[in-house]
């Protein structure tokens, strides 16, 4: 059985948000914070904190959702994070 894919957002030290996809959220967060394989964007903005995580049915679905989130306004992203914090 294939590993599930996840769409995630991290908040960087400068309060900006980075959105990505992964099959291993814990390992990806570690790589953003410590490893040489973290995204170039986050390497200069460490530490980062996971603020949003959503499971997707496939890599394709995760990529499409990532794209949709990246197109959202800052207010829409904040609302998405707030809904997730409330469990909704």
List the CATH number of the domain containing 22.
Answer: 3.40.1440.10
Say if CB 21 and CB 62 are below 8 A apart. Answer: yes
CA distance 41 to 18: 8
> Can you give the pLDDT at residue 2?
78
Q: What are phi and psi of 16, to 5 degrees?
A: -75, 165
> Can you give the pLDDT at residue 35?
82
> Can you give the pLDDT at residue 88?
67
Residue 87 DSSP class: T
State the pTM of this model. Answer: 0.93
Which residue segment(s) compose the domain that 71 sits in? 5-85
How many structural domains does the chain have?
A: 1
Residues 57-68 have pLDDT tens digits of: 999 999 999 999
Query: What rounded mean pLDDT belongs to the chain?
Result: 95
- What does the pLDDT average to over 30-52? 93
């Amino acid at each position: 059985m294939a590993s599930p894919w996840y769409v995630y957002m991290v908040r960087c030290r400068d309060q900006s948000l980075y959105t990505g996809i992964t099959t291993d959220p814990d390992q990806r967060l570690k790589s953003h914070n410590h490893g040489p394989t973290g995204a170039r964007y986050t390497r200069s903005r460490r530490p980062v904190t996971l603020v949003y995580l959503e499971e997707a049915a496939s890599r394709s679905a995760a990529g499409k959702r990532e794209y949709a989130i990246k197109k959202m306004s800052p207010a829409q992203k904040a609302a998405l994070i707030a809904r997730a914090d409330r469990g909704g």
